[in-house]
Amino acid sequence: MMSDPAHAESPVIVARDGAVATITVNRPAVRNALNDATLGAIDAAVAALDADPDVRVILLTGAGDKAFVAGADITELSRATAVTGRTLAQRGQAVFDRIAAAGKPVIAVINGYCLGGGCELALACTFRFAADTAEIGQPEINLGIIPGYGGSQRLPRLIGRDRALDLILTGRRVTAAEALVLGLVTRVYPAATLRAEALAYARELAGKAPIAVRLALDAVRAGLEQPLAEALAHEAALFGLVSATDDMREGTRAFLEKRPAQFTGR
């Protein structure tokens, strides 16, 4: 695995393993809490990797074995006013929107506490793989606030209104096992094998046709926000686009020739 040059103090570390890149939130001393500098570093890393054609899947995790991201930086948060609080929320939402709109899968590798802003960060990802020891929740209500980085919107869209309100209004944490039942996480693995399992899955996705992956993400995301007739029309338009790619020719030819396809992203 190759790492980009980074000091140990860097809030984010980016590493590459072939077509898979890993973004690690690197503030283990404060359980990888999100401050403004960390949000900026995540934003820059995602933008660069999303634009890199050699990267096909992004993993997002936290440094150490205690936390994915345990929440926002309370020191910064405690100074918020009506004006700066709105700006803070909009800042986090913009960063997480970039993740949610990425043209390649982004997998949250939840290796520990995933709370508040950390849960919202995971919600913005395509998939959420959790260690069996992870704890997940939106405990902002216990600070006298509400989720501000998209949690009040993405959580009910993912698990339904009532279940989302139960978590948001009580602020309770759920185990990885309960999160799986709720549909909050995609898969649960033993903590010792979580990263290896996530990497194996990412490598599998990286072998798929990248244009088809990007258009499939687009079709599902857009379709969930559209009436069915509009969503079907959008799907048909995207199917037309993908039908003109070299990867489509290679994929169908490989199937007929009974051999593995070699996709090039063209």
Give the tokens for residue 252.
């169908």
Residues 6+ apart with CB under 8 A from 79: none
Contact 129/185 with Cβ under 8 angstroms?
A: yes
Give the tokens for residue 138.
């939106």
Q: Would you name the residues annotated as active-site residues?
A: 120, 140
In the DSSP assignment, the letter for residue 132 is T
User: What does residue 53 show for φ and ψ, rounded to 5 degrees?
Assistant: -65, -15
Contact 149/94 with Cβ under 8 angstroms?
A: no
Tell the residue number behind the tokens 């903590």, with chain if given: 191
Give the tokens for residue 153.
């919107």
The 3-state DSSP class for residue 171 equals coil
Rounded Cα distance between 70 and 34, Å, is: 8
Residue 56 burial (CB count, 10 A): 26
> Maximum Cα–Cα distance for the chain, whole Å?
64
What is the Cβ-side half-sphere exposure of residue 99, based on CA atoms within 13 angstroms?
A: 29
Contact 120/147 with Cβ under 8 angstroms?
A: yes
